[in-house]
Structure formats: structure tokens, C-alpha cells
């Protein structure tokens, strides 16, 4: 794309999203050239292009101004939103701190109950490796990671129809490390990335930390993913990377269809845009068949697929990976400047455990248990929640996404419950766009014992109080 077109697209987006309102004066050619690093000629070409399209107009001897009508029409038709100054890190930090407190009921946690993850055979494997002289100290697991572990992960990809070379894999310190490294490899501060409107807070945190501008697309009310809005964004804006969750979406829970995933892959190739696919819950499906990833349909190598062991063996393991293709080298560079590598001992133990039949057995048992527990929560909540609430149930993972009565602010419910040592996850942790904030995410992996039932009853009582205006 020509430089002037890229600049014109950036400015167009600022106008469409109303970050630059109608009749705002644009920076002078020289100011714009200084702040963007483009030449004055490139800026002039960009302004002329925008003027020809009706996005801006000139006033004699005064400069360029934002036009009025076009910005409104476009905003309502393309459903996209721009988020420039993201501020979520402190909020997430406080949330995670609340979850660490003693005696809390962690219904707002993203981690599955440790009691479901603990696997005796894995623990034995770990302790056996710990006893091998020098095993924990050797450096054979430095980036890109322990070869045998990369080989077993690569063979699992291949069994799922994604032929993968172990050389393409980089073992990381959990999925968050993989996702962050991938994003860092693909972007520089000030770039545009694309996220789903409601998404795991780690994506917002990464964008805040790296100084990125975020364009969001809304969830499709029926299919989970709005292909029209997606193509609109790719076509019109200089997006450097997308970060999407299409399987077992956190926080909502949906999995989008194979048709949609296949179209996403084709669009990425058409517009030459990379996707960071966050697939950490890929193993937590209840149906017979594991859902496919976009990576499966990725003929042009535009997908960097990230996952980890956090949701199946425990987040404390800090073991994850990115299937990074040609970006392996860049990612290893970045890794060696930050987290260096995942634990050597853990990589050895994981390679051993994954090669045994105990791994699949563990996954089967985990899925079954999660299915039973989540269904039990769902049934109970259907019975006790006020009729004005709606529970979104998807046959995957361990989250329930709940709509509270219209107009209720889930952050207030969150604050009230904190005083009772109950932590839920309010929707502001997952969104930035001033959207309705009457949603919460509940973690349903914990045994539904008396303590948890009581906590849910307290939550329901609080919702009633908020509806009746008893809480101010």
C-alpha cells in the first residue's frame, strides 16, 4: 500500500470513530509530517485523497477540516469501533489481587479448579525428572524449546490435520507469553490491531502495554463472529494483526463454525493480514470432535496459533507455545530478551507425559467432569436467578456468561460481592467501548458444594437488591 494511502486510512479511521469530530481542524501539513514521520508531500497526497472522498474539506487559507455527514453514515454502517487510549491494566491487577486473597470464593477466576487438574501420573513424571542429575539444570530447553516436547506437540497438530514442523514451534512461559511475543513480533507502537469487542483482558493489556490502537468488531448475535464487519475492517484499515478467539471464547464461551473459520483464513490471505489465534481452551470441548482452528484452514501461513497447558494441567506450570512459522526467529529473539524460556524441568516432564496414554485419559476425564459441573451450575442458576437475567450456555469450557437485568452495572454487583469475599468477573474486564455493562462471567469448574451454593444465593439476593434499588 502507498504511504499516503496508509496515512489517509489512519486519518479516515479517526474520523469514522469520531475521535476526530466534525469540523475539527486537521494538523497542518508540516505538523502532520512531523508527528507521523511522513514527508510533507505524502501528507499532502493523503489529505487530497481524503478530500476527494469527502472525508475532509478545505477552508481558504485556513487549512483542512473534518466533514460532517459522512462520518456518521459510516459509523452506523460498519459497526467497528476504535480504541486508542486503553486503560485496563490497573483494573485487571486489582481483580487478580482480589482472587489471591485467602478464603475468597473465586468465581471470577480464569483458572480451572486445581482439584480437577491435578494428575497423579504427571506429578510422578515431574518428580522422576527432578531426580535425574542435572536434568533441571541443562540448557537443552532454551528457545525454541525442548525438541522432544516440540515433536509431540507437532505430531498432535498433524493428527488434527495441520501438518507442522517442530521447527515452527516455540515453547513459551504459558500462552500469555506466546500471545504477547507474537503481537510484539508483528507490531510497533501506534499500529492498528483488530480484536473482538468482548475478549480476554490479556489482549487489552497487551495493546495497552505496546501502545497499539485497537479496532473492534462486535460479536454476531447468532454466529459469534461478524464476517461482514471483519472484512470491512480488513478492507479499509491498515491492520497489522488480529488477535481472535474462535474456540471456547473467553468470556462468552461460543465456538464459531468451520465455515466461518475457513472464510476468516481466506480473508486473511486476501488482505495479507496476520492472525494471532488464542486457542488455550482448545481441549475443553464436550462434543466427540475437537473443534478445528483457523490454523487448519490457513493455506497462506497467516496464522500464529497459540496455546498452553494452563487450562488442562494448571497455570502454575507456565508451559505454552506458539506455532509461529516464519516468525520463529523473531519470536525467539524477543523471548531471549524477556522471559528467556519456559522451565527446563517442566518441558522434559511435559514431553514425557504427553507421549503417554495418560495424557489423553486425563483430558477425557477433565472434559467429563467440567461438563457435569458446568451443567449443574447452569441448572441451579436457571432456577434461582431473576427472570430478567439470561444465562448463555455453550457445551464447552467452564465459563457461564450471564446477562443481568437491563441497565444494571455489573461493576457495582462486583464491588458488593467483594465485601462478602465472593469474586465474580464483571464485563468491564473484557470490553473497552462503553458497551452495556450488565454482564458477568462465572467460573463453574469448582465443586458445587454448600459454600459455593451459598455464594451464588448471596449473588442472586444482591441482584434482587440492586433491581429494587436497595443498594446505592
Ligand X SMILES: Cc1ncc(COP(=O)(O)O)c(C=O)c1O
Site residues (CB under 6 A) for ligand X?
Answer: 110, 174-176, 200, 202, 245, 250, 278, 280, 308, 310, 315, 320
**For ligand X, the closer CB: 81 or 175:** 175
**For ligand X, the closer CB: 154 or 179:** 179
**For ligand X, the closer CB: 250 or 438:** 250
Shortest spacing between CB 354 and ligand X, in angstroms: 16
Q: Which residue is nearest to ligand X (CB)?
A: 174
Shortest spacing between CB 278 and ligand X, in angstroms: 5
**For ligand X, the closer CB: 175 or 185:** 175
Shortest spacing between CB 379 and ligand X, in angstroms: 25
**For ligand X, the closer CB: 26 or 275:** 275
Dihedral (C-alpha) 418, 422, 426, 430: value to the nearest 10 degrees? 110
Determine the Cα angle at 99 with ends 378 and 437, to 5°: 60
Cα–Cα distance between 79 and 93 in angstroms, integer? 30
**For ligand X, the closer CB: 7 or 346:** 346
Rounded-to-5 percentages of helix, strand, coil across the chain: 45, 15, 40
Handedness of CA 402, 406, 409, 413 (dihedral sign): negative
Q: Identify the CA nearest to 193 among candidates 227, 241, 234.
A: 241
Other beta carbons within 10 Å of 440:
27
Q: Which three cell numbers stand for residue 421?
A: 469475599
Shortest spacing between CB 18 and ligand X, in angstroms: 30
Shortest spacing between CB 321 and ligand X, in angstroms: 10
Handedness of CA 260, 266, 269, 272 (dihedral sign): negative
Shortest spacing between CB 291 and ligand X, in angstroms: 15
Q: Identify the CA nearest to 381 among candidates 446, 450, 459, 439.
A: 459
Amino acid at each position: 500500500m502507498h504511504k499516503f494511502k496508509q496515512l489517509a486510512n489512519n486519518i479516515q479511521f479517526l474520523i469514522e470513530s469520531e475521535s476526530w469530530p466534525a469540523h475539527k481542524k486537521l494538523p497542518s501539513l508540516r505538523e502532520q509530517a512531523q508527528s507521523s514521520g511522513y514527508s510533507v508531500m505524502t501528507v499532502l497526497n493523503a489529505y487530497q485523497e481524503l478530500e476527494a472522498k469527502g472525508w475532509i474539506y478545505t477552508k481558504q487559507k485556513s487549512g483542512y477540516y473534518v466533514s460532517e455527514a459522512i462520518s456518521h453514515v459510516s459509523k452506523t454502517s460498519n459497526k467497528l469501533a476504535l480504541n486508542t487510549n486503553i486503560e485496563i491494566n490497573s483494573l485487571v491487577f486489582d481483580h487478580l489481587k482480589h482472587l489471591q486473597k485467602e478464603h475468597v470464593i473465586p468465581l471470577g477466576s480464569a483458572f480451572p479448579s486445581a482439584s480437577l487438574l491435578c494428575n497423579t501420573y504427571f506429578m510422578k513424571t515431574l518428580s522422576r525428572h527432578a531426580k535425574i542429575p542435572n536434568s533441571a539444570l541443562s540448557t537443552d530447553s532454551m528457545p525454541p524449546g525442548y525438541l522432544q516436547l516440540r515433536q509431540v506437540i507437532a505430531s498432535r497438530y498433524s493428527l488434527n490435520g495441520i501438518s507442522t514442523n517442530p521447527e515452527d514451534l516455540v515453547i513459551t512461559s504459558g500462552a500469555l507469553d506466546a500471545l504477547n511475543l507474537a503481537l510484539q513480533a508483528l507490531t510497533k507502537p501506534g499500529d492498528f490491531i483488530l480484536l473482538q469487542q468482548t475478549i480476554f483482558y490479556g489482549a487489552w493489556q497487551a495493546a495497552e502495554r505496546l501502545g497499539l490502537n485497537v479496532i473492534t468488531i462486535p460479536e454476531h448475535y447468532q454466529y459469534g463472529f461478524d464476517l461482514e464487519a471483519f472484512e470491512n475492517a480488513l478492507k479499509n484499515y491498515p491492520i497489522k494483526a488480529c488477535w481472535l478467539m474462535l474456540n471456547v471464547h473467553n468470556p462468552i464461551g461460543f465456538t464459531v463454525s468451520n465455515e466461518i473459520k475457513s472464510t476468516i483464513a481466506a480473508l486473511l490471505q486476501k488482505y495479507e493480514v496476520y492472525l494471532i489465534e488464542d486457542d488455550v481452551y482448545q481441549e475443553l470441548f464436550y462434543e466427540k470432535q475437537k473443534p478445528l482452528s483457523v490454523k487448519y484452514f490457513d493455506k497462506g501461513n497467516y496464522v500464529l496459533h497459540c496455546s498452553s497447558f494452563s487450562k488442562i494441567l494448571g497455570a502454575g506450570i507456565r508451559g505454552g507455545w506458539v506455532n509461529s512459522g516464519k516468525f520463529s526467529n523473531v519470536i525467539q529473539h524477543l523471548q531471549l530478551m524477556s522471559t528467556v524460556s519456559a522451565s527446563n524441568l517442566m518441558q522434559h516432564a511435559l514431553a514425557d507425559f504427553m507421549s503417554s496414554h495418560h495424557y489423553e485419559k486425563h483430558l477425557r476425564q477433565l472434559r467429563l467432569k467440567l461438563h457435569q459441573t458446568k451443567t449443574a451450575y447452569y441448572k441451579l442458576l436457571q432456577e434461582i436467578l431473576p427472570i430478567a437475567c439470561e444465562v448463555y450456555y455453550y457445551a464447552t469450557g467452564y465459563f457461564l456468561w450471564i446477562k443481568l437485568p437491563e441497565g444494571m452495572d455489573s461493576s457495582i454487583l462486583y464491588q458488593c460481592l467483594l465485601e462478602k469475599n465472593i469474586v465474580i468477573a464483571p464485563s468491564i474486564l473484557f470490553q473497552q467501548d462503553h458497551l452495556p455493562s450488565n454482564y458477568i462471567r462465572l467460573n463453574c469448574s469448582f465443586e458445587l458444594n454448600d459454600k459455593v451454593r451459598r455464594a451464588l444465593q448471596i449473588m442472586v439476593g444482591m441482584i434482587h437488591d440492586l433491581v429494587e434499588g436497595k443498594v446505592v
